[in-house]
Chain A
Amino acid sequence: MSASLLSLRNVSAYYGSVAALRGVDLDVNEGEIVTLIGANGAGKSTLMMTVFGAPRARSGSISFAGEDITARPTHEIARLGLAQSPEGRRVFPRMSVQENLQMGAALHGGRYFAQDLDKVCTLFPRLKERLSQRAGTMSGGEQQMLAIGRALMSRPRLLMLDEPSLGLAPLVVKQIFSAISALNREEGMTIFLVEQNAYHALKLAHRGSVLVNGRITLSGPARALLDDPSIKAAYLEGGHAPAAAVGEGV
Protein backbone atom coordinates (compact mmCIF):
# COMPACT_ATOMS: atom_id res chain seq x y z
CA MET A 1 0.00 0.00 0.00
CA SER A 2 2.93 2.34 0.33
CA ALA A 3 4.10 2.43 -3.26
CA SER A 4 5.23 5.91 -4.20
CA LEU A 5 2.53 7.49 -6.35
CA LEU A 6 4.16 10.83 -7.01
CA SER A 7 7.86 11.31 -6.73
CA LEU A 8 10.08 14.31 -7.36
CA ARG A 9 13.80 13.82 -7.64
CA ASN A 10 16.17 16.77 -7.46
CA VAL A 11 13.65 19.05 -9.20
CA SER A 12 14.59 22.64 -9.98
CA ALA A 13 12.35 25.21 -11.60
CA TYR A 14 12.86 28.81 -12.61
CA TYR A 15 10.87 31.89 -13.46
CA GLY A 16 13.12 33.43 -16.06
CA SER A 17 16.47 33.37 -14.30
CA VAL A 18 15.04 33.35 -10.78
CA ALA A 19 15.21 29.96 -9.11
CA ALA A 20 11.91 29.03 -7.50
CA LEU A 21 12.71 25.40 -6.66
CA ARG A 22 16.22 24.13 -5.97
CA GLY A 23 16.73 20.38 -5.97
CA VAL A 24 13.48 19.29 -4.39
CA ASP A 25 13.00 15.61 -3.44
CA LEU A 26 9.54 14.56 -2.41
CA ASP A 27 7.39 11.44 -2.33
CA VAL A 28 3.68 10.96 -1.92
CA ASN A 29 2.67 7.37 -1.26
CA GLU A 30 -0.61 5.77 -2.10
CA GLY A 31 -3.26 6.35 0.56
CA GLU A 32 -1.37 9.09 2.42
CA ILE A 33 -2.00 12.70 3.18
CA VAL A 34 1.28 14.53 2.70
CA THR A 35 1.56 18.19 3.48
CA LEU A 36 4.04 20.79 2.39
CA ILE A 37 4.26 23.82 4.61
CA GLY A 38 6.15 27.04 4.17
CA ALA A 39 5.86 30.78 4.21
CA ASN A 40 4.61 33.05 1.46
CA GLY A 41 6.90 32.90 -1.55
CA ALA A 42 8.71 29.74 -0.45
CA GLY A 43 7.80 28.05 -3.74
CA LYS A 44 4.88 25.89 -2.62
CA SER A 45 2.53 26.81 -5.44
CA THR A 46 5.38 26.65 -7.93
CA LEU A 47 5.98 23.09 -6.84
CA MET A 48 2.31 22.24 -7.39
CA MET A 49 2.40 23.71 -10.87
CA THR A 50 5.78 22.22 -11.76
CA VAL A 51 4.29 18.76 -11.25
CA PHE A 52 1.90 19.75 -14.07
CA GLY A 53 4.69 21.07 -16.23
CA ALA A 54 3.87 24.78 -15.90
CA PRO A 55 6.55 25.97 -15.29
CA ARG A 56 8.49 23.02 -16.59
CA ALA A 57 11.17 21.53 -14.33
CA ARG A 58 14.55 22.64 -15.69
CA SER A 59 16.36 19.74 -14.09
CA GLY A 60 15.51 16.63 -12.12
CA SER A 61 12.64 14.26 -12.78
CA ILE A 62 9.03 13.87 -11.79
CA SER A 63 7.15 10.60 -12.03
CA PHE A 64 3.60 9.61 -11.37
CA ALA A 65 2.54 5.99 -10.86
CA GLY A 66 5.86 4.86 -12.25
CA GLU A 67 5.58 6.98 -15.39
CA ASP A 68 8.00 9.80 -16.13
CA ILE A 69 5.91 12.96 -16.54
CA THR A 70 8.70 15.54 -16.45
CA ALA A 71 8.25 16.55 -20.09
CA ARG A 72 4.59 15.71 -20.64
CA PRO A 73 2.11 18.43 -21.69
CA THR A 74 -0.08 19.71 -18.85
CA HIS A 75 -3.34 18.26 -20.12
CA GLU A 76 -1.82 14.80 -20.54
CA ILE A 77 -0.53 14.86 -16.99
CA ALA A 78 -4.02 15.66 -15.78
CA ARG A 79 -5.42 12.75 -17.76
CA LEU A 80 -3.10 10.34 -15.93
CA GLY A 81 -5.10 10.94 -12.77
CA LEU A 82 -3.69 14.03 -11.08
CA ALA A 83 -6.12 16.73 -10.10
CA GLN A 84 -5.39 20.07 -8.58
CA SER A 85 -7.37 22.67 -6.72
CA PRO A 86 -4.96 25.47 -7.51
CA GLU A 87 -3.84 28.59 -5.73
CA GLY A 88 -6.56 31.22 -5.94
CA ARG A 89 -9.16 28.50 -6.67
CA ARG A 90 -9.52 29.48 -10.31
CA VAL A 91 -13.13 28.48 -10.73
CA PHE A 92 -14.54 29.49 -14.12
CA PRO A 93 -16.34 32.64 -13.02
CA ARG A 94 -18.83 32.93 -15.86
CA MET A 95 -19.92 29.33 -15.73
CA SER A 96 -22.48 27.83 -13.41
CA VAL A 97 -21.41 25.60 -10.55
CA GLN A 98 -22.72 22.63 -12.46
CA GLU A 99 -20.73 23.55 -15.56
CA ASN A 100 -17.60 23.94 -13.47
CA LEU A 101 -18.13 20.43 -12.15
CA GLN A 102 -18.76 19.19 -15.69
CA MET A 103 -15.41 20.67 -16.68
CA GLY A 104 -13.84 18.62 -13.88
CA ALA A 105 -15.43 15.50 -15.34
CA ALA A 106 -14.51 16.43 -18.92
CA LEU A 107 -11.61 14.02 -19.21
CA HIS A 108 -13.98 11.09 -18.71
CA GLY A 109 -16.38 12.51 -21.28
CA GLY A 110 -19.02 12.85 -18.55
CA ARG A 111 -19.48 9.09 -18.15
CA TYR A 112 -19.68 9.08 -14.35
CA PHE A 113 -21.07 12.58 -14.01
CA ALA A 114 -24.38 11.91 -12.24
CA GLN A 115 -22.84 9.52 -9.76
CA ASP A 116 -19.86 11.74 -8.95
CA LEU A 117 -22.04 14.83 -8.71
CA ASP A 118 -23.97 13.10 -5.93
CA LYS A 119 -20.75 12.31 -4.11
CA VAL A 120 -19.43 15.85 -4.32
CA CYS A 121 -22.78 17.26 -3.20
CA THR A 122 -22.77 14.95 -0.20
CA LEU A 123 -19.29 16.13 0.68
CA PHE A 124 -20.19 19.82 0.18
CA PRO A 125 -23.97 20.23 0.57
CA ARG A 126 -23.59 23.95 -0.09
CA LEU A 127 -22.76 23.24 -3.72
CA LYS A 128 -25.96 21.31 -4.22
CA GLU A 129 -28.03 24.40 -3.37
CA ARG A 130 -26.09 26.46 -5.86
CA LEU A 131 -25.71 24.27 -8.92
CA SER A 132 -27.15 26.84 -11.28
CA GLN A 133 -25.44 29.89 -9.75
CA ARG A 134 -22.58 31.56 -11.60
CA ALA A 135 -19.39 30.51 -9.86
CA GLY A 136 -17.91 34.02 -9.90
CA THR A 137 -20.70 35.32 -7.69
CA MET A 138 -20.12 32.86 -4.86
CA SER A 139 -18.26 33.49 -1.62
CA GLY A 140 -14.62 32.50 -1.21
CA GLY A 141 -15.48 29.46 0.87
CA GLU A 142 -18.02 28.24 -1.65
CA GLN A 143 -15.57 28.77 -4.47
CA GLN A 144 -13.00 26.74 -2.56
CA MET A 145 -15.48 23.91 -2.13
CA LEU A 146 -16.22 24.12 -5.84
CA ALA A 147 -12.54 24.01 -6.75
CA ILE A 148 -12.04 20.88 -4.63
CA GLY A 149 -15.27 19.36 -5.94
CA ARG A 150 -14.23 20.07 -9.51
CA ALA A 151 -10.91 18.33 -8.90
CA LEU A 152 -12.72 15.31 -7.44
CA MET A 153 -14.99 15.06 -10.49
CA SER A 154 -12.03 13.82 -12.51
CA ARG A 155 -11.76 10.74 -10.24
CA PRO A 156 -8.11 11.47 -9.47
CA ARG A 157 -5.63 9.02 -8.03
CA LEU A 158 -3.89 11.96 -6.42
CA LEU A 159 -5.68 15.07 -5.22
CA MET A 160 -3.47 18.15 -4.91
CA LEU A 161 -4.78 21.04 -2.85
CA ASP A 162 -3.08 24.42 -2.83
CA GLU A 163 -3.89 26.40 0.30
CA PRO A 164 -7.54 25.47 0.62
CA SER A 165 -7.77 27.55 3.82
CA LEU A 166 -6.49 30.81 2.36
CA GLY A 167 -8.65 33.79 3.20
CA LEU A 168 -11.53 31.78 4.62
CA ALA A 169 -13.43 32.12 7.88
CA PRO A 170 -12.28 29.68 10.60
CA LEU A 171 -15.56 27.81 10.51
CA VAL A 172 -15.30 27.24 6.76
CA VAL A 173 -11.69 26.15 7.13
CA LYS A 174 -12.85 23.57 9.61
CA GLN A 175 -15.51 22.28 7.19
CA ILE A 176 -13.03 21.99 4.39
CA PHE A 177 -10.39 20.25 6.46
CA SER A 178 -12.87 17.75 7.79
CA ALA A 179 -13.98 17.02 4.23
CA ILE A 180 -10.34 16.42 3.23
CA SER A 181 -9.84 14.09 6.16
CA ALA A 182 -13.04 12.19 5.33
CA LEU A 183 -11.95 11.72 1.73
CA ASN A 184 -8.74 10.11 2.87
CA ARG A 185 -10.25 8.01 5.64
CA GLU A 186 -13.33 6.76 3.84
CA GLU A 187 -12.16 6.48 0.27
CA GLY A 188 -8.44 6.08 0.69
CA MET A 189 -7.85 9.16 -1.47
CA THR A 190 -4.20 10.12 -1.69
CA ILE A 191 -3.82 13.81 -0.94
CA PHE A 192 -1.02 16.28 -1.33
CA LEU A 193 -1.79 19.39 0.66
CA VAL A 194 0.09 22.66 0.46
CA GLU A 195 -0.59 24.97 3.37
CA GLN A 196 0.51 28.05 5.21
CA ASN A 197 -1.80 27.02 7.99
CA ALA A 198 0.82 24.68 9.39
CA TYR A 199 -0.96 23.63 12.53
CA HIS A 200 -4.10 22.42 10.81
CA ALA A 201 -2.20 20.81 7.97
CA LEU A 202 0.14 18.86 10.20
CA LYS A 203 -2.73 17.72 12.40
CA LEU A 204 -4.39 16.27 9.33
CA ALA A 205 -1.44 14.78 7.48
CA HIS A 206 0.55 11.61 7.87
CA ARG A 207 3.80 13.13 6.74
CA GLY A 208 5.03 16.62 6.15
CA SER A 209 7.84 18.63 4.61
CA VAL A 210 8.94 22.19 5.09
CA LEU A 211 9.85 24.34 2.10
CA VAL A 212 12.09 27.36 2.60
CA ASN A 213 13.29 29.43 -0.35
CA GLY A 214 12.72 26.60 -2.79
CA ARG A 215 14.49 23.98 -0.70
CA ILE A 216 13.05 21.23 1.46
CA THR A 217 14.66 21.79 4.84
CA LEU A 218 12.86 19.24 6.93
CA SER A 219 10.74 16.13 6.32
CA GLY A 220 9.18 13.57 8.57
CA PRO A 221 6.05 12.21 10.20
CA ALA A 222 3.54 15.00 10.77
CA ARG A 223 3.38 14.30 14.53
CA ALA A 224 7.10 14.76 14.85
CA LEU A 225 7.04 18.02 12.89
CA LEU A 226 4.27 19.37 15.10
CA ASP A 227 6.51 18.89 18.11
CA ASP A 228 9.70 20.10 16.45
CA PRO A 229 10.87 23.21 18.28
CA SER A 230 12.18 24.95 15.15
CA ILE A 231 8.85 24.50 13.42
CA LYS A 232 7.00 25.68 16.48
CA ALA A 233 9.08 28.80 16.49
CA ALA A 234 8.77 29.54 12.79
CA TYR A 235 5.28 28.39 11.85
CA LEU A 236 3.31 27.83 15.02
CA GLU A 237 4.10 30.95 16.99
CA GLY A 238 1.97 31.16 20.08
CA GLY A 239 1.84 27.40 20.40
CA HIS A 240 -1.14 25.46 19.19
CA ALA A 241 -3.30 28.42 18.39
CA PRO A 242 -6.10 27.59 15.97
CA ALA A 243 -6.69 28.95 12.52
CA ALA A 244 -5.07 32.33 13.03
CA ALA A 245 -1.57 31.01 13.70
CA VAL A 246 -0.12 31.34 10.25
CA GLY A 247 3.60 31.88 10.36
CA GLU A 248 5.17 34.46 8.13
CA GLY A 249 8.38 34.42 10.06
CA VAL A 250 10.90 32.90 7.70
Chain B
Amino acid sequence: MDVFVQQLINGLTLGSIYGLIAIGYTMVFGIIGMVNFAHGDVFMVSTFIALISFLVLTALGISSVALAFLAVLVITMALTALWGFSVERIAYRPLRGSFRLAPLISAIGVSIFLSNFVQVAQGARNKALPSMLDGGLTLFERDGYAVTLSYKQILIMAVTSVLLLGFWYLVQRTPFGRAQRACEQDRKMAALLGIDVDRTISLTFVLGAVLAAVAGLLYLLYYGVVSFSDGFVPGVKAFTAAVLGGIGSLPGAVIGGLIIGLIETFWSAYFSIEYKDVAAFSILAIVLIFMPSGLLGRAEVEKV
Protein backbone atom coordinates (compact mmCIF):
# COMPACT_ATOMS: atom_id res chain seq x y z
CA MET B 1 0.00 0.00 0.00
CA ASP B 2 2.74 2.44 0.96
CA VAL B 3 4.72 1.67 -2.12
CA PHE B 4 1.57 1.91 -4.16
CA VAL B 5 0.72 5.44 -2.98
CA GLN B 6 4.30 6.57 -3.47
CA GLN B 7 4.36 5.23 -7.01
CA LEU B 8 1.01 6.84 -7.70
CA ILE B 9 2.48 10.21 -6.76
CA ASN B 10 5.60 9.61 -8.81
CA GLY B 11 3.57 8.40 -11.78
CA LEU B 12 1.23 11.37 -11.77
CA THR B 13 4.21 13.71 -11.66
CA LEU B 14 5.89 12.09 -14.62
CA GLY B 15 2.54 11.82 -16.40
CA SER B 16 1.93 15.55 -15.99
CA ILE B 17 5.12 16.29 -17.87
CA TYR B 18 4.24 13.83 -20.65
CA GLY B 19 0.75 15.32 -20.84
CA LEU B 20 2.07 18.84 -21.33
CA ILE B 21 4.29 17.73 -24.19
CA ALA B 22 1.54 15.54 -25.68
CA ILE B 23 -0.78 18.53 -26.09
CA GLY B 24 1.69 20.02 -28.57
CA TYR B 25 1.60 16.87 -30.69
CA THR B 26 -2.14 16.55 -30.59
CA MET B 27 -2.94 20.18 -31.40
CA VAL B 28 -0.62 20.32 -34.36
CA PHE B 29 -1.95 17.02 -35.63
CA GLY B 30 -5.49 18.30 -35.17
CA ILE B 31 -4.97 21.41 -37.24
CA ILE B 32 -2.67 20.31 -40.07
CA GLY B 33 -2.83 16.53 -39.84
CA MET B 34 0.89 16.20 -39.38
CA VAL B 35 2.98 14.56 -36.68
CA ASN B 36 5.49 17.18 -35.62
CA PHE B 37 8.42 14.90 -34.90
CA ALA B 38 10.53 17.88 -33.92
CA HIS B 39 8.30 18.63 -30.96
CA GLY B 40 10.30 16.43 -28.58
CA ASP B 41 13.42 18.30 -29.54
CA VAL B 42 11.76 21.66 -29.04
CA PHE B 43 11.05 20.35 -25.54
CA MET B 44 14.73 19.44 -25.16
CA VAL B 45 15.80 22.89 -26.35
CA SER B 46 13.52 24.39 -23.71
CA THR B 47 15.26 22.42 -20.95
CA PHE B 48 18.53 24.02 -22.02
CA ILE B 49 17.00 27.47 -22.22
CA ALA B 50 15.71 26.95 -18.68
CA LEU B 51 19.07 25.69 -17.47
CA ILE B 52 20.99 28.59 -18.97
CA SER B 53 18.48 31.12 -17.62
CA PHE B 54 18.83 29.63 -14.14
CA LEU B 55 22.59 29.87 -14.30
CA VAL B 56 22.51 33.42 -15.61
CA LEU B 57 20.07 34.52 -12.93
CA THR B 58 22.16 32.87 -10.25
CA ALA B 59 25.26 34.62 -11.59
CA LEU B 60 23.35 37.90 -11.41
CA GLY B 61 22.85 37.18 -7.75
CA ILE B 62 19.14 36.48 -7.59
CA SER B 63 18.77 34.22 -4.61
CA SER B 64 15.01 33.98 -4.15
CA VAL B 65 13.96 30.62 -5.56
CA ALA B 66 10.38 31.75 -6.24
CA LEU B 67 11.51 34.83 -8.13
CA ALA B 68 14.10 32.90 -10.11
CA PHE B 69 11.53 30.23 -10.96
CA LEU B 70 9.03 32.77 -12.27
CA ALA B 71 11.64 34.63 -14.28
CA VAL B 72 12.96 31.40 -15.79
CA LEU B 73 9.42 30.28 -16.56
CA VAL B 74 8.70 33.45 -18.51
CA ILE B 75 12.04 33.47 -20.33
CA THR B 76 11.78 29.80 -21.24
CA MET B 77 8.23 30.12 -22.50
CA ALA B 78 9.10 33.17 -24.61
CA LEU B 79 12.25 31.77 -26.17
CA THR B 80 10.80 28.32 -26.80
CA ALA B 81 7.75 29.93 -28.40
CA LEU B 82 10.14 31.66 -30.75
CA TRP B 83 11.69 28.28 -31.63
CA GLY B 84 8.28 26.74 -32.23
CA PHE B 85 7.26 29.66 -34.40
CA SER B 86 10.48 29.56 -36.45
CA VAL B 87 10.32 25.81 -37.00
CA GLU B 88 6.82 26.10 -38.44
CA ARG B 89 7.75 29.10 -40.53
CA ILE B 90 10.97 27.72 -41.96
CA ALA B 91 10.40 23.99 -42.17
CA TYR B 92 6.64 23.40 -42.53
CA ARG B 93 4.84 26.35 -44.02
CA PRO B 94 6.73 26.37 -47.33
CA LEU B 95 5.72 22.71 -47.72
CA ARG B 96 2.04 23.23 -47.12
CA GLY B 97 0.12 22.05 -50.15
CA SER B 98 2.98 19.75 -51.05
CA PHE B 99 2.61 15.97 -50.86
CA ARG B 100 1.65 14.56 -47.49
CA LEU B 101 4.98 13.09 -46.49
CA ALA B 102 7.02 16.22 -47.21
CA PRO B 103 6.40 18.01 -43.90
CA LEU B 104 6.93 14.73 -42.05
CA ILE B 105 10.38 14.31 -43.56
CA SER B 106 11.07 17.96 -42.87
CA ALA B 107 10.06 17.39 -39.23
CA ILE B 108 12.52 14.55 -38.86
CA GLY B 109 15.17 16.83 -40.35
CA VAL B 110 14.40 19.56 -37.85
CA SER B 111 14.54 17.01 -35.05
CA ILE B 112 18.02 15.88 -36.10
CA PHE B 113 19.11 19.47 -36.57
CA LEU B 114 17.97 20.56 -33.12
CA SER B 115 19.60 17.72 -31.22
CA ASN B 116 22.84 18.14 -33.14
CA PHE B 117 22.77 21.88 -32.74
CA VAL B 118 22.44 21.57 -28.98
CA GLN B 119 25.09 18.87 -28.90
CA VAL B 120 27.55 21.13 -30.72
CA ALA B 121 26.62 24.31 -28.88
CA GLN B 122 26.34 22.85 -25.38
CA GLY B 123 28.49 19.77 -25.52
CA ALA B 124 27.54 16.14 -25.39
CA ARG B 125 27.87 15.69 -21.66
CA ASN B 126 24.95 15.80 -19.24
CA LYS B 127 24.38 19.23 -17.78
CA ALA B 128 23.38 19.45 -14.16
CA LEU B 129 21.44 22.08 -12.29
CA PRO B 130 22.42 22.68 -8.66
CA SER B 131 19.62 21.09 -6.75
CA MET B 132 16.98 23.45 -5.47
CA LEU B 133 13.57 23.26 -3.89
CA ASP B 134 14.54 20.19 -1.91
CA GLY B 135 12.49 18.58 0.78
CA GLY B 136 8.83 17.76 0.91
CA LEU B 137 5.95 16.58 3.00
CA THR B 138 5.85 13.18 4.60
CA LEU B 139 2.32 11.97 4.10
CA PHE B 140 2.55 8.94 6.37
CA GLU B 141 5.15 6.51 7.57
CA ARG B 142 4.86 2.83 8.35
CA ASP B 143 7.50 0.20 9.05
CA GLY B 144 10.19 2.69 8.19
CA TYR B 145 8.78 3.40 4.69
CA ALA B 146 7.85 7.05 4.38
CA VAL B 147 5.47 8.13 1.65
CA THR B 148 6.58 11.59 0.64
CA LEU B 149 5.29 14.27 -1.62
CA SER B 150 8.22 16.46 -2.53
CA TYR B 151 7.89 20.20 -3.10
CA LYS B 152 8.96 19.64 -6.67
CA GLN B 153 6.15 17.19 -7.22
CA ILE B 154 3.66 19.61 -5.71
CA LEU B 155 5.00 22.33 -7.98
CA ILE B 156 4.79 20.13 -11.06
CA MET B 157 1.24 19.02 -10.41
CA ALA B 158 0.08 22.50 -9.43
CA VAL B 159 1.64 24.21 -12.45
CA THR B 160 0.25 21.54 -14.76
CA SER B 161 -3.27 21.81 -13.36
CA VAL B 162 -3.37 25.58 -13.52
CA LEU B 163 -1.97 25.58 -17.01
CA LEU B 164 -4.41 22.99 -18.27
CA LEU B 165 -7.36 24.91 -16.87
CA GLY B 166 -6.16 28.11 -18.49
CA PHE B 167 -5.50 26.28 -21.70
CA TRP B 168 -8.91 24.62 -21.70
CA TYR B 169 -10.48 28.04 -21.23
CA LEU B 170 -8.46 29.45 -24.10
CA VAL B 171 -9.52 26.73 -26.52
CA GLN B 172 -13.16 26.40 -25.47
CA ARG B 173 -14.16 29.91 -24.56
CA THR B 174 -12.14 32.51 -26.44
CA PRO B 175 -12.43 33.74 -30.04
CA PHE B 176 -8.90 32.50 -30.73
CA GLY B 177 -9.78 29.04 -29.46
CA ARG B 178 -12.89 29.00 -31.59
CA ALA B 179 -10.92 30.01 -34.66
CA GLN B 180 -8.40 27.30 -33.83
CA ARG B 181 -11.10 24.64 -33.62
CA ALA B 182 -12.71 25.95 -36.79
CA CYS B 183 -9.43 25.59 -38.67
CA GLU B 184 -9.14 22.11 -37.27
CA GLN B 185 -12.53 21.12 -38.67
CA ASP B 186 -12.46 22.92 -42.02
CA ARG B 187 -9.58 25.21 -42.92
CA LYS B 188 -11.05 26.39 -46.19
CA MET B 189 -14.34 27.35 -44.57
CA ALA B 190 -12.52 29.18 -41.80
CA ALA B 191 -10.72 31.26 -44.43
CA LEU B 192 -14.07 32.03 -46.10
CA LEU B 193 -15.17 33.49 -42.77
CA GLY B 194 -12.19 35.85 -42.63
CA ILE B 195 -9.94 33.75 -40.39
CA ASP B 196 -6.24 34.06 -41.18
CA VAL B 197 -5.49 30.34 -41.30
CA ASP B 198 -1.70 30.68 -41.54
CA ARG B 199 -1.65 32.87 -38.47
CA THR B 200 -3.85 30.44 -36.57
CA ILE B 201 -1.51 27.57 -37.45
CA SER B 202 1.49 29.62 -36.35
CA LEU B 203 -0.15 30.35 -33.02
CA THR B 204 -0.96 26.69 -32.59
CA PHE B 205 2.74 25.85 -32.91
CA VAL B 206 3.59 28.64 -30.50
CA LEU B 207 1.09 27.36 -27.94
CA GLY B 208 2.41 23.82 -28.25
CA ALA B 209 5.94 25.12 -27.76
CA VAL B 210 4.93 27.16 -24.72
CA LEU B 211 3.45 24.07 -23.06
CA ALA B 212 6.56 22.08 -23.98
CA ALA B 213 8.64 24.85 -22.41
CA VAL B 214 6.79 24.54 -19.13
CA ALA B 215 7.28 20.79 -19.31
CA GLY B 216 10.97 21.37 -20.04
CA LEU B 217 11.44 23.59 -17.01
CA LEU B 218 9.62 21.13 -14.75
CA TYR B 219 11.62 18.23 -16.17
CA LEU B 220 14.85 20.09 -15.47
CA LEU B 221 13.79 20.82 -11.89
CA TYR B 222 12.65 17.26 -11.29
CA TYR B 223 15.65 15.41 -12.65
CA GLY B 224 18.27 18.11 -12.28
CA VAL B 225 20.13 16.81 -15.33
CA VAL B 226 19.57 17.38 -19.03
CA SER B 227 21.27 16.24 -22.19
CA PHE B 228 20.99 16.98 -25.90
CA SER B 229 19.42 13.56 -26.45
CA ASP B 230 16.56 14.18 -24.00
CA GLY B 231 14.25 15.16 -26.82
CA PHE B 232 13.92 11.65 -28.10
CA VAL B 233 12.59 9.41 -25.35
CA PRO B 234 10.29 11.90 -23.62
CA GLY B 235 9.19 13.01 -27.08
CA VAL B 236 8.29 9.51 -28.15
CA LYS B 237 6.55 8.86 -24.84
CA ALA B 238 4.50 12.03 -25.18
CA PHE B 239 3.64 11.14 -28.75
CA THR B 240 2.55 7.72 -27.52
CA ALA B 241 0.43 9.47 -24.89
CA ALA B 242 -1.23 11.57 -27.59
CA VAL B 243 -2.00 8.50 -29.69
CA LEU B 244 -3.20 6.54 -26.67
CA GLY B 245 -5.57 9.33 -25.66
CA GLY B 246 -6.79 9.74 -29.22
CA ILE B 247 -4.71 12.05 -31.37
CA GLY B 248 -6.48 15.36 -31.93
CA SER B 249 -8.15 15.26 -28.52
CA LEU B 250 -6.82 17.64 -25.86
CA PRO B 251 -8.22 15.86 -22.80
CA GLY B 252 -7.05 12.65 -24.45
CA ALA B 253 -3.47 13.92 -24.54
CA VAL B 254 -3.50 14.69 -20.83
CA ILE B 255 -5.12 11.40 -19.86
CA GLY B 256 -2.78 9.51 -22.17
CA GLY B 257 0.18 11.29 -20.54
CA LEU B 258 -0.96 10.34 -17.05
CA ILE B 259 -1.55 6.72 -18.07
CA ILE B 260 1.90 6.40 -19.65
CA GLY B 261 3.49 8.03 -16.60
CA LEU B 262 1.67 5.69 -14.23
CA ILE B 263 2.43 2.53 -16.20
CA GLU B 264 6.07 3.43 -16.36
CA THR B 265 6.49 4.08 -12.65
CA PHE B 266 4.40 1.13 -11.50
CA TRP B 267 6.18 -1.23 -13.85
CA SER B 268 9.54 0.02 -12.59
CA ALA B 269 8.47 -0.44 -8.97
CA TYR B 270 6.82 -3.83 -9.17
CA PHE B 271 8.49 -5.54 -12.11
CA SER B 272 11.67 -4.47 -13.76
CA ILE B 273 12.87 -1.00 -14.51
CA GLU B 274 14.64 -2.16 -17.67
CA TYR B 275 11.33 -3.02 -19.31
CA LYS B 276 9.34 0.07 -18.36
CA ASP B 277 9.32 1.40 -21.92
CA VAL B 278 8.23 -1.97 -23.24
CA ALA B 279 5.32 -1.88 -20.80
CA ALA B 280 4.27 1.59 -21.88
CA PHE B 281 4.35 0.79 -25.57
CA SER B 282 2.63 -2.57 -25.07
CA ILE B 283 -0.31 -0.85 -23.43
CA LEU B 284 -0.45 1.45 -26.43
CA ALA B 285 -0.58 -1.52 -28.77
CA ILE B 286 -3.27 -3.24 -26.74
CA VAL B 287 -5.46 -0.14 -26.52
CA LEU B 288 -5.12 0.52 -30.24
CA ILE B 289 -6.19 -3.02 -31.07
CA PHE B 290 -9.48 -2.54 -29.27
CA MET B 291 -9.92 1.22 -29.76
CA PRO B 292 -8.18 2.16 -33.00
CA SER B 293 -8.81 5.89 -32.56
CA GLY B 294 -7.49 5.94 -28.99
CA LEU B 295 -9.31 6.40 -25.72
CA LEU B 296 -11.02 9.71 -26.45
CA GLY B 297 -10.42 9.98 -30.18
CA ARG B 298 -13.46 10.23 -32.35
CA ALA B 299 -14.31 7.61 -34.89
CA GLU B 300 -13.99 8.83 -38.44
CA VAL B 301 -17.70 8.51 -39.15
CA GLU B 302 -19.65 11.72 -39.33
CA LYS B 303 -23.09 12.64 -40.50
CA VAL B 304 -22.88 14.79 -43.59
Residues of A participating in the B interface, judged by any CB pair closer than 8 Å: 52, 54, 73-76, 78-79, 83-84, 86, 88, 90, 92-95, 99, 102-104, 106-107, 109-110, 136-137, 150, 154
B186 to chain A, nearest CB (A): 6
Given A75-B194, A84-B192, A137-B303, 17 more pairs with CB closer than 8 A: A74-B191, A74-B192, A75-B191, A75-B193, A83-B193, A90-B189, A92-B181, A92-B186, A93-B302, A99-B178, A103-B182, A103-B195, A104-B193, A106-B179, A107-B195, A136-B302, A154-B193
The 17 sampled A-B contact pairs (Cβ below 8 Å) are: A54-B188, A54-B191, A74-B191, A78-B191, A79-B194, A84-B192, A86-B192, A92-B182, A94-B181, A95-B178, A95-B185, A103-B178, A103-B179, A106-B178, A107-B195, A136-B303, A150-B193
Whether A93 lies near B193 (C-beta < 8 A) is no
Q: Which residues of A contact B195 (CB under 8 A)?
A: 75, 103, 106-107
In angstroms, Cα B124 to Cα A117, docked, is: 60
Chain B residues closer than 8 Å to A103, beta-carbon distance = 178-179, 182, 190, 193, 195
Report B's interface with A, CB cutoff 8 A.
Answer: 175, 178-179, 181-182, 185-186, 188-197, 298, 302-304
A234 vs B175: C-alpha distance when bound (angstroms): 47
Which residues of chain A are near B196, meaning CB under 8 Å? 73, 75
**A-B pair number, CB within 8 angstroms:** 72
CB neighbours (8 Å) of A102 from chain B are 175, 178
A125 → chain B, closest Cβ, in Å?
A: 22
Q: How far is the CA of A54 from the CA of B302 in the complex (A)?
A: 25
CA distance A154 to B175 in the complex (A): 15
What A residues does B197 contact at CB under 8 A?
A: 75
In the complex, residue of chain B having the shortest beta-carbon distance to the beta carbon of A52: B192
The 6 A-B residue pairs with the shortest CB-CB distance, nearest first, are A107-B194, A78-B194, A74-B191, A90-B189, A79-B194, A92-B185
Residues of the A chain whose Cβ atoms lie less than 8 Å from the Cβ of B193: 75, 78, 83, 103-104, 106-107, 150, 154
A241 to B190, CA, bound (A): 37
Cα–Cα distance between A137 and B189 once the two chains are bound (Å): 18
Chain B residues in 8 Å Cβ range of A95 = 178, 181-182, 185
Q: A137 — nearest CB in chain B belongs to which residue?
A: B303
With a cutoff of 8 Å between Cβ atoms, the chain B residues found around residue A90 in the complex are 186, 188-189
Nearest chain B residue, comparing its CB with the CB of A85:
B192
A154 to B303, CA, bound (A): 26
Question: Given the complex of chains A and B, what is the CA–CA distance between A102 and B190 in angstroms?
Answer: 12
Interchain CB contact under 8 A, B303 and A106: no
Instruction: Return A144 CB to nearest CB of chain B, in Å.
Output: 13
| A109 with B175, Cβ < 8 A, contacts A92-B186, A93-B185, A95-B182 known | yes
